[in-house]
Structure 1
Amino acid sequence: MYLPPSYDASPDRRYPVVYMQDGWNAFDDATSFSSEWGADETAQDLAERGLEVIVVAVTQDIVPSSFKRLSEYGPWTDFLGLASGQGGQYAAFLAQTLKPFVDSRFRTLRDAPHTAVIGSSMGGLISLYTAFEYPRTFGFVGALSPALWFADGQMFRHLATRASPNLRVYTDIGSSEHMGVIWDSARFVRDTAHLAQMLESRVAAVRWGVFHGADHSETQWRTRLPAVLEWFLSADAPRSETTGQAR
């Protein structure tokens, strides 16, 4: 967990909170299974500009590359049942167990507009799912390179029946992300564009973009995190924005 620099010296102040998936990768290369996002450094940089936030890195007692991670982050079954669809339980844990625990022990701003859920890949997928399942709890979602391929694109069918008029959504994709011939980079880009377009009329605001040459890695997501957190913490956020071919 990261606490902002003014936390101890400002006992009457409360802070917005970000819940980050794949918490091993949030703060430290030594604990990561690939590389770190530098969430603490990013939060510290934003704090120097007056934008302070509590960051909760949510980890799991699993092997990161295992089907158990796909099971916990996947709301539906996939891979012939090897991913067993426990994502609904995980989302409930975030909203109904972890957040109340954090709120009871730290000086948080508890309302949805000041509470974000952020992740990448499968972490982005479950963040998106969680935000729509618990709109009174989470008012912002950052879904970086979300695994929209999971369960044969079930997320699109799921969101087609849902709306969250107070939710702000950030999503993106790298132009070099792919899963071989099964899901090529062009399809990743098309799916992310389709997600953003279908959400335009269903949420308060959407910001999305394609990052030229970016692959599927923590190194890339680290470079995008500052803009995501800044938008979450900004009081003057635009309604919607398409960043297009960002570089």
Structure 2
Amino acid sequence: MYYSNLLLILSLLSMLNTSCSNRPVLSEPSIYENEQITGTVFNHIFYSKILNDSREIFVWVPNDYNSNKKNYPLLVLHDGQNVFHAGGSVSGNEWHIDESVTKMINSNEIEPLIMVGVSNTKNRSLEYNPMLGGRRYGEALTQELLPAILKQYRVSNSSNKTGTMGASMGGLISLYLGWEVNSIFSMAACLSPALMYRNFDYVNELEKSKTPQNLKLAIVNGTEDLDAALQNGVNECIAYLKGNNFPNNNLLYWIGEGDSHTELSWAEQSKKILKWMYPKNAQ
């Protein structure tokens, strides 16, 4: 399957959302100062007409960003207010993904990349659920946010360099984006994903779309607390993938023994996933 030109796709999608409003999708960038952050993070306000709201986003750029002219792979993270620092976390913990990525780049384990953390809002449970408001959230990302990011930052315009990552409901929306918006997101990482929980079941939705043969999909779930309750949905998803010709070499799956539904577990799990998604010698 050939990859479409990501820049062309996003430009066309952006045209569908043309508005008479002069307010930009992204506010002017400001350096985000926080002692917990490693590296350089720019802070923007993302104004979405589709969602009729605004939220903070955090753009992390690698240390060599200003010393060359190359374009970088992109990773979009949900619950972005606590991936680089703990300020937006209920638990008081963070993913430490800025520290992890910096170390892995410096040790030549992964290629340098740009990360965009998209903050959640009071509508998180709706926006991260594809059966409720998740599709509109996806439209806001693809028609508004990503075109603006591509204009302002040197991001690769190849879809096979664009990934998404999230945990819990963020893992659910990541699977949706990789599965159903695969022309843009060719990599998806789902940590402790809430695929079948309470009154929704996204596994049954998978069969409504053709199995994407180019998707690199990472799924991990722990064994403690809420993760134990989510394992049934994970099992159903893995069984569906194996029964519907999902390429084995495109799937990274494991059960994290002793891991829990916490930022501390996700911080450790994300290291293995990032090495798999963005290996240094990837073509």
TM-score under structure 1 length normalisation: 0.82
CA distance in 1, matches of 2:280, 2:251: 15
Query: Which among 72, 79, 83 is matched to residue 22 of structure 1?
Result: 79
Aligned length, in residue pairs: 217
Query: Which among 63, 68, 71 is matched to residue 126 of structure 2?
Result: 71
Provide the alpha-carbon RMSD of the alignment.
Answer: 1.9
Q: For residue 80 of structure 1, what is the aligned residue in structure 2?
A: none
Q: For residue 219 of structure 1, what is the aligned residue in structure 2?
A: 264
- Report the structure number with the largest CA radius of gyration: 2
Instruction: Give matches, 1:142-181, under 5 Å.
Output: 142-150=189-197, 152-162=199-209, 163-178=211-226
Task: List gaps (5 residues or longer) in structure 1.
Answer: 77-84, 180-184, 238-247
Task: List gaps (5 residues or longer) in structure 2.
Answer: 1-58
Q: For residue 140 of structure 1, what is the aligned residue in structure 2?
A: 187
CA distance in 2, matches of 1:209, 1:169: 12
Query: Can you list the C-alpha shifts for 1:30-65, whole angstroms capped at 9, x where unaligned?
Result: 2333221011111101210332111100013x24xx
User: Identity of aligned pairs, percent?
Assistant: 27
Q: For residue 202 of structure 1, what is the aligned residue in structure 2?
A: 246
Call closer, same or farther: CA 1:93–1:150 in 2, change over 3 Å: farther
- Confirm whether residue 92 of structure 1 aligns to residue 152 of structure 2: no
CA distance in 2, matches of 1:95, 1:14: 19
CA distance in 2, matches of 1:153, 1:72: 14
TM-score under structure 2 length normalisation: 0.72
Q: For residue 116 of structure 2, what is the aligned residue in structure 1?
A: 56
Q: Which amino acid aligns with 1:115?
A: T
Alpha carbons 2:220, 2:269 under 8 Å: kept:
no
CA distance in 1, matches of 2:88, 2:125: 20
Alpha carbons 2:197, 2:233 under 8 Å: kept:
no
Q: For residue 18 of structure 2, what is the aligned residue in structure 1?
A: none
Call closer, same or farther: CA 1:197–1:47 in 2, change over 3 Å: same
Call closer, same or farther: CA 1:151–1:189 in 2, change over 3 Å: closer
Alpha carbons 1:25, 1:36 under 8 Å: kept:
yes
Alpha carbons 1:24, 1:33 under 8 Å: kept:
no
Alpha carbons 2:196, 2:203 under 8 Å: kept:
no
Q: Which amino acid aligns with 1:218?
A: E
Q: Which amino acid aligns with 2:175?
A: L
Structure 1 segments (4+ residues) deviating >2 Å: 30-34, 149-154, 187-191
Q: Helix, strand or coil for the counterpart of 1:14?
A: coil
| Structure 1 residue 98: Cα displacement | 1.2
CA distance in 1, matches of 2:104, 2:145: 25
Q: For residue 191 of structure 1, what is the aligned residue in structure 2?
A: 233
- Confirm whether residue 7 of structure 1 aligns to residue 65 of structure 2: yes
